[in-house]
Structure 1
Amino acid sequence: MDRISSDTPVSPLRQRMQDDMLMRGLGSHTRQDYIRHVRAFAAFLRRSPDTATADDIRRFQLHQHESGIGVATINSAVSALRFLFSVTLGRRDLARSLVVTRFHRKLPDVLSVEEVARLLEAAPGLKYKAALSVAYGAGLRVSEVAHLKIDDIDSTRMLIRIEQGKGRKDRNAMLSPHLLDLLRLWWREGKLRGVMLPHGWLFPGQGRTEPISTRQLHRAVQEAAERAGIRNALRARKIKPCIPGRRGRKRPVRYDKTLYKQRNVIERMFARLKDWRRVAMRYDRCAHTFFSAIVIAATVSF
């Protein structure tokens, strides 16, 4: 859906903003969020956003903080209004007046290995057990698990191909032998039940032609948590374990941790190669200067 459908007439400003977002390749969910934030800003002003001033923006952000709106929502509104003022309206001075709220990063709340084992065993059916095992064993997001296809499982290279994941990027994830065996069990059962189509979805939804929804996976996690006796608040995204990476970023824990050891070794090798190259270039410059001085001295003496 390229344009956000609505029964109410679309104003020229809103239509222009939608066209600007479409031309720049913004996703459908991002476009919907931006329109929603701009609509909230217009409701606060009680007039068109193109008549806003820097003082109006300040009052709007103060209103958001006083109303107890979350930091993520405030920053999302900042991104939407920056796009509106800088791109659609060409008012970069107003875009610079928007303030991004800093928030304290917390350690991810993940389950222990024992809790994950109990959760997977309590999954309501083989399909959900295989789906949740992929999320944990390969470090996939819930939406990525839901949109996996049968052809994305590469048993030859032991990889899982994720197409158009977060940020519209393709990547590969590691596939463990135990996870491959579990996926094969689910594939055989799905073939017997008649829900697995050739080159179709790995985890079909209620219809064979549609993938399983993220809501179904969330409900399966809640049901499995109740069966396993896990009391804390649990969502499907907590199944994906994370460890801190560089610059405070998070990266998934793969099933085989030797990958990270090999990656660190390779990074150290490249770092040493760069150091050796830098030293070689330094000695090369010194040698060039030395031989040039000898040539000049020989010419003068001659």
Structure 2
Amino acid sequence: MNASVPDLGPVFPIAPDVRAAYAAWLGYLTDERRVAAKTVEAYGRDMRFVLGFLCQHLGSAPSLQEIARLAPRDIRAYLAARRTEGLTSRSLMRALAAFRSFARYVDPKGIGLSAALAAVRAPKVARSLPKPVAPLPARAMTDPETRAGEAREPWVLARDAAVLALLYGCGLRISEALSLTRREAPQAGRAMTITGKGGKQRSLPVIAPVAQAVEAYLSLCPWNLPPDGPLFVGAKGGPLSPRIVQRAMEGLRGALGLPETATPHALRHSFATHLLSRGGDLRSIQELLGHASLSTTQIYTEVDSARLMAIHAASHPRARL
């Protein structure tokens, strides 16, 4: 991969060996590690900020040899500078992860820069539980009739409902739903293959309501959809933007009286939480969601426990004494 340093902020000098290492590192993440494109983009942006900070911190564009000699105090100064720019702890964690990834690439033995980064404690992040949508409003979001009062063409309402049906009925990420081709349109009774983060594939069952929502959209769609073209298209026939789906969700929030936490991704959380509350096996839910680690899926057990505690507190006679 012949990567060039992207224009991600103010222009500053970059030493030739650092520029070459930066481009090679992005290529390594993409071609060998198969890291998701958005993650590569975010890591590249974070490392760009590192290089910009080091130019000011050290007084000139550092070479790889100078970067390798950085001390933990230099890295803490970088994190402090980003904190003053308003970065949250979660964003700082990602920035540190990007720096560590670059260090592992240029310092595979972990002697210099990697050792300095290992000595820096990551920012603490307050763990927040996913906020799923309740079953009734989640189902209403997948029904075009919920938005029948809007001045939009019926095929557009059917399209948005079909996308949301995939998020709630199959647990897809919005990027996964919008990456489907016409050839891959889900059909009831047939498994659907989804390519998720890092190019990892998983097979998902398609329930009848999801297939029916997609069929309703296809029957109304005015555009000719080639087999290898996008399944979901915008008003001009091009690939559907995630922002359009987010706007549809905003309208549904208003119609159903839901909080701002009711986002398209919240429907994926709803898929997992509602399966778990109905006795779904955690390992199976992990496979359906495409999580690499079971620990990522286990957070939904905490969501369900919190829901049960709230029901108990609201319903048990002794809980209200």
* Fold match (TM-score > 0.5): yes
Correspondence for 2:53 = 44
Per the alignment, in what secondary structure is the counterpart of residue 94 of structure 2? helix
- CA distance 1:135–1:83, shift in 2 (3 Å): same
Which of 96, 102, 115 does residue 78 from structure 1 map onto? 96
- CA distance 1:111–1:237, shift in 2 (3 Å): same
Which of 192, 197, 212 does residue 160 from structure 1 map onto? 192
Per the alignment, in what secondary structure is the counterpart of residue 171 of structure 1? strand
- Describe the superposition over 1:29-78 as per-residue Cα deviations: whole angstroms up to 9, x where unpaired: 33332232223223333143543332211222344456652122111111
Residue 187 of structure 1 and its aligned partner are, at CA, apart by 1.5
The answer to whether the Cα contact below 8 Å between 2:188 and 2:206 also exists between their aligned partners in 1 is no
Question: In 1, distance between residues paired with 2:93 and 2:234?
Answer: 34
Question: In 1, distance between residues paired with 2:207 and 2:254?
Answer: 28
Structure 1 unpaired stretches of 5+ = 244-250, 265-302
Correspondence for 2:181 = 149
Which of 121, 124, 127 does residue 99 from structure 1 map onto? 121
The answer to whether the Cα contact below 8 Å between 1:120 and 1:224 also exists between their aligned partners in 2 is no
Residue 146 of structure 1 and its aligned partner are, at CA, apart by 0.7
- CA distance 1:215–1:197, shift in 2 (3 Å): same
- CA distance 1:199–1:182, shift in 2 (3 Å): same
Per the alignment, in what secondary structure is the counterpart of residue 52 of structure 2? helix
The RMSD of aligned alpha carbons is 3.3
Residue 203 of structure 1 and its aligned partner are, at CA, apart by 0.8
TM-score with structure 1 length normalisation?
Answer: 0.71
- Whether 1:175 and 2:206 are equivalent positions in the alignment is yes
TM-score with structure 2 length normalisation?
Answer: 0.67
- Whether 1:110 and 2:132 are equivalent positions in the alignment is yes
- CA distance 1:15–1:263, shift in 2 (3 Å): closer
Per the alignment, in what secondary structure is the counterpart of residue 107 of structure 1? coil
The answer to whether the Cα contact below 8 Å between 1:20 and 1:87 also exists between their aligned partners in 2 is yes
Correspondence for 1:120 = 142
- CA distance 1:211–1:260, shift in 2 (3 Å): farther
Q: How does 1:29-40 map to 2 (within 5 A)?
A: 29-40=38-49
The answer to whether the Cα contact below 8 Å between 1:137 and 1:255 also exists between their aligned partners in 2 is no
- CA distance 1:152–1:259, shift in 2 (3 Å): farther
Correspondence for 1:240 = 268
Question: In 1, distance between residues paired with 2:211 and 2:137?
Answer: 22
The answer to whether the Cα contact below 8 Å between 2:134 and 2:270 also exists between their aligned partners in 1 is no
Moved more, 129-138 or 63-72: 63-72
Question: In 2, distance between residues paired with 1:35 and 1:258?
Answer: 42
- Describe the superposition over 1:219-257 as per-residue Cα deviations: whole angstroms up to 9, x where unpaired: 1111222233334443211122358xxxxxxx5655996
Which of 13, 21, 30 does residue 26 from structure 2 map onto? 21
The answer to whether the Cα contact below 8 Å between 2:14 and 2:61 also exists between their aligned partners in 1 is no
Question: In 2, distance between residues paired with 1:239 and 1:183?
Answer: 17
- CA distance 1:33–1:178, shift in 2 (3 Å): closer
Residue 133 of structure 1 and its aligned partner are, at CA, apart by 0.9
